[in-house]
A and B are shown apart, each in its own frame.
Chain A
Amino acid sequence: MKSVLGFLFGIFLSLLLVLWIGESPLFVLEVLYRSAFGSKYDLGLTLFYATNLAFTGLSVAVAFKAGLFNIGAEGQLHFAAILTAWVGMTFSQLPMGLALPLAFMASTGFGFLYGLVPGLLKAYRGSHEVIVTMMMNFIAAGVASYLTLNVLKNPNSQNPETSPVSPGFFSPERDLTQQFFEGAPVNYTLWIAIGIAVLVYFFLSKTTAGYKLRAAGLNAASARFSGIDSRKVQMLAMGFAGALAGFVALNEITGSAGKYRIGFSADYGFVGIAVALMARNHPLGILISAFLFGALQKGAADLDFETELITRDFARIIQGIVILSVTAFYFIDFKKLIQKWRSK
């Protein structure tokens, strides 16, 4: 498929860059491979990143299908996370059977609300959702920072983080997935991610509601004449996208950390854009592309340790190059190129 070619080409270009600055591309590849798959723990960490990326990838993809560009997944997940942490601290007496469903509702609910705002502004005021969601990323960061440092701070730690949530909400010792991967942060939400991806796929292609969403996304004007309330659909789609991003909060607060830590997100929101693009917004493809980018994420962290010049930000460079190269490949008409080349 063109996307995979694009991804590989992106990696290739990045390796050229590596060569140019004096590091060995082969070594880099080796580190990347080892880092992603070397041990159960490594694989677990890769899958942990992939889980979050699948959620944000789906968030971006669903918005795209509705004709909207959601670059606010980052803000949505932070907003959901800080408030889910608060829920986890406040309702400390709940047993797991009640706590987890509550956490589920909180993380998706708050995410939904935070996504609804740009959706509403776009649908009913025509405000550019790219700018609004970008601004709301900064706003969420500010709100989360304030709440973490001033209201919910962990008294027993120097780190900028909240107090831990109660064991009803977070009990890693009972998480089979985490046990299997030898303590890596991956957890039960991995399976939720896979399940949600399948559900989203089914929703978009097989249901009338999904049809309406896609119709409003492709041609809002026509859709209105067919009886679809395009504005309402788009607004709800953004909310839905926010809810999907909110799942990252579920992962972080009930699956891996048990508290909100400032800076916990490895830019899941932004990388989610690359994940969605590479998979051409296909929900099942997103699972694969999330895995690849997760592996990249894990690999980049190790590259930081094992090389002189390559830092964790190198992953960003690769992401950027990959986005460009994947999308460029999609737009290049290979048949035409081959024809032209042949006729010369």
Chain B
Amino acid sequence: MKEILRLQKVNKSFGAVQAAKDVSFSVQEGQLISLIGENGAGKSTAAKILFGMYQPDSGEIFFQGQSIKISSPEAAGQLGIGMVHQHFMLAPAMTALDHMILQKNDLRSFQKIDRALILKELQSLSEKHQMPVDWLSPVEDLPIGVHQRIEILKALSANAKIIILDEPTAVLSPQETALFLDRLLDLKKQGYTIILITHKLREVLKVSDQIVVFRRGEVVGQYPATEQTCETLSELMVGHQVPPLNNIPQAAGAPLLTVTDLSFGKLKNIHFQLHENEIVGIAGIEGHGQSDLLKALLMPQDCGCEPQQYELLKGQAGQLTTSELLDRGLGFVGEDRHHQSCILEMNLLENFLFGQERKFSKFGIIEQSHLNHQTLEMMQNFDVRPLGNPLLPFQSLSGGNQQKFVVGRELSKKPRVLIASQPTRGVDIGAIDLIHRSLLNYKNRKNAVLLVSSELEELIKVSDRILVLKDGQFVSEFQRQEFDEQRIGQVMLRGTP
């Protein structure tokens, strides 16, 4: 097999941050190579350089042995490089057909488009790769799995021979992931070269020929997949061993939160309870009612909730406002941090006030020194950096630190019930560990946590029981001793084990 792409000593900085340092690796034609590493380790940056979205500050790129410059995504396209991005490049209001027409280079700007003809072409492309798509509905009406198919078909129809995929399975269930990986192997058999960016080690080992490990912007090494295991890869990614979590289950105590017969959005007559000393994990493919559940728990008034349908801490809560719920002892870490848990433009102190301004209010005036003190203390406890200047705008913190701040803030409020959705998304391994330990510590003090996560591994590691959400209903419950990733995955997909 011959080498088709190579990066050699590529450097890229964004301001003061060096995202890629002396990055070198080599891709053979027809191979599947995975780039792995923690968030911010540099793998995404390297891929975007290959796709022409970023220009390296120094270093060379070789295509089929020739040193070249990839100056733009268009240039990358001409070399046959296509990319499926982590955050899909789709405009929700437009149709899939519109997206495909947009990238047809053989059409002139003011030429009449024959939509019917193009539609036929696309349908046969879909069939060829076994990826059916509804081409005529607005993208926002389609499920996420279809979004991904559209993205892949976009790359294929642009005659890509090398396909880069950035975190493609982040939104898929275990079974959908297995199907997806099969497709990848199919494409490889057809001669495509695939570059996979991911942090999911088990998938990597299943399909890759070569693995490139990134750490803090540098390449630790390039290894044949056959020589590696999850543990060795994990250690390479972090640089040291990560001690295992000690989750000693405690007996569940009194009920703290009860939901009875609630229907809203996708949810249909759901019941569940949270007890003292327990973490309940909610597993499920994205889009099966998780956001509706969170909304109902936080803003019951907007969801048509009757008072008795929702009980929080020995009192009916169905008609309470968000503010009243928070006061009563509810904490919330939202999955969309920027639109649910913080205000980027405000400073750290003001973000600490978030959701608890009454605690720092004396006759309506903010108690500055008390606020200062509490914020600093929380940041120290949760290793939020940089320490020292509480007036920094929140957006100047890195993603991982922002998340630690939010989790820390919510826990410092000492709520009885914490609702956390994707609490470790975008956070690196060290911080994930800290957050998991904090959650365990917290629940062992007679509190409860409702954990919604798309990472089944995380749920299994931390929860006491797992409820599987499918089509708006809890179809199954697993106790700690029954935890099995395959079985839970099956239920997520099919509804029955």
Interface residues in chain A, defined as those with a beta carbon under 8 Å from any beta carbon in chain B: 206-209, 211-212, 214-215, 218-219, 221-229
CB distance from B273 to the nearest CB of A (A): 24
Write out, one digit per residue, whether chain B residues 365-376 have a CB within 8 A of any chain A CB (1) or not (0). 110000000000
Identify the interface centre among A211, A219, A222, A229: most chain B CB within 10 Å of its CB: A222
Inter-chain contacts of A215 with B (CB < 8 A): 343, 346, 350, 354
- The distance in angstroms between the C-alpha atoms of A223 and B346, with both chains bound, is 12
B344 touches A208 (CB 8 A): no
Inter-chain contacts of B366 with A (CB < 8 A): 206-208, 211
- The distance in angstroms between the C-alpha atoms of A253 and B298, with both chains bound, is 49
B350 touches A211 (CB 8 A): yes
Within 8 A of A (CB), among B352-383: 353-355, 357-358, 360-361, 364-366
21 chain-A/chain-B pairs, Cβ below 8 angstroms:
A207-B364, A207-B366, A208-B357, A208-B360, A208-B366, A211-B366, A212-B357, A215-B346, A215-B350, A218-B345, A219-B338, A222-B338, A222-B343, A224-B299, A224-B322, A225-B322, A225-B332, A225-B341, A226-B355, A227-B327, A229-B321
B342 lies within 8 A of chain A by Cβ: yes
B340 lies within 8 A of chain A by Cβ: yes
A225 touches B334 (CB 8 A): yes
- The distance in angstroms between the C-alpha atoms of A239 and B342, with both chains bound, is 27
Write out, one digit per residue, whether chain B residues 196-230 have a CB within 8 A of any chain A CB (1) or not (0). 00000000000000000000000000000000000
Q: Nearest CB to that of A221 among chain B residues?
A: B339
Given A206-B366, A208-B361, A211-B357, decide whether A222 and B326 contact each other with a Cβ distance below 8 A: no
A211 touches B364 (CB 8 A): no
CB distance from B332 to the nearest CB of A (A): 6
B323 touches A227 (CB 8 A): yes
A214 touches B326 (CB 8 A): no
- The distance in angstroms between the C-alpha atoms of A336 and B364, with both chains bound, is 42
- The distance in angstroms between the C-alpha atoms of A226 and B350, with both chains bound, is 12
Identify the interface centre among A209, A212, A219, A226: most chain B CB within 10 Å of its CB: A226
Interface residues in chain B, defined as those with a beta carbon under 8 Å from any beta carbon in chain A: 298-299, 321-327, 332, 334, 338-346, 350, 353-355, 357-358, 360-361, 364-366
- The distance in angstroms between the C-alpha atoms of A215 and B350, with both chains bound, is 9
- The distance in angstroms between the C-alpha atoms of A157 and B323, with both chains bound, is 58
Inter-chain contacts of B321 with A (CB < 8 A): 227, 229
Inter-chain contacts of B360 with A (CB < 8 A): 208
Inter-chain contacts of B361 with A (CB < 8 A): 208
Given A208-B357, A211-B357, decide whether A222 and B341 contact each other with a Cβ distance below 8 A: yes
A207 touches B338 (CB 8 A): no
Question: Inter-chain contact count A-B, CB under 8 Å?
Answer: 67
Inter-chain contacts of A229 with B (CB < 8 A): 321, 323
- The distance in angstroms between the C-alpha atoms of A338 and B80, with both chains bound, is 40
Q: Nearest CB to that of B355 among chain A residues?
A: A226
B323 touches A211 (CB 8 A): no
Given A207-B365, A208-B364, decide whether A223 and B343 contact each other with a Cβ distance below 8 A: yes
CB distance from A144 to the nearest CB of B (A): 36
CB distance from A228 to the nearest CB of B (A): 7
Inter-chain contacts of A212 with B (CB < 8 A): 357
- The distance in angstroms between the C-alpha atoms of A112 and B290, with both chains bound, is 41
Given A225-B332, A226-B355, A227-B326, decide whether A206 and B365 contact each other with a Cβ distance below 8 A: yes
- The distance in angstroms between the C-alpha atoms of A110 and B292, with both chains bound, is 41
B323 touches A209 (CB 8 A): no
B365 touches A226 (CB 8 A): no
CB distance from A296 to the nearest CB of B (A): 32
Inter-chain contacts of B343 with A (CB < 8 A): 215, 218-219, 222-223
Q: Nearest CB to that of B350 among chain A residues?
A: A211
A219 touches B339 (CB 8 A): yes
B326 touches A211 (CB 8 A): no
CB distance from A70 to the nearest CB of B (A): 20
- The distance in angstroms between the C-alpha atoms of A229 and B299, with both chains bound, is 11
Contact of B342 among A208, A211, A222, A228 (CB under 8 A): A222
Inter-chain contacts of A225 with B (CB < 8 A): 298, 322, 332, 334, 340-341, 355
Given A206-B365, A211-B357, A227-B322, decide whether A221 and B340 contact each other with a Cβ distance below 8 A: yes
CB distance from B133 to the nearest CB of A (A): 31
A218 touches B346 (CB 8 A): yes
Inter-chain contacts of B358 with A (CB < 8 A): 208
A227 touches B355 (CB 8 A): yes
CB distance from B192 to the nearest CB of A (A): 41
CB distance from A343 to the nearest CB of B (A): 15
Given A206-B366, A207-B364, decide whether A214 and B323 contact each other with a Cβ distance below 8 A: no
CB distance from A62 to the nearest CB of B (A): 17
A222 touches B339 (CB 8 A): yes
A211 touches B340 (CB 8 A): no
Inter-chain contacts of B322 with A (CB < 8 A): 224-227
Inter-chain contacts of B334 with A (CB < 8 A): 225
- The distance in angstroms between the C-alpha atoms of A251 and B174, with both chains bound, is 70
In the A-B complex, list the 8 residue pairs whose CB atoms are closest, starting with the nearest.
A227-B323, A226-B355, A208-B357, A227-B322, A221-B339, A208-B361, A225-B340, A219-B343
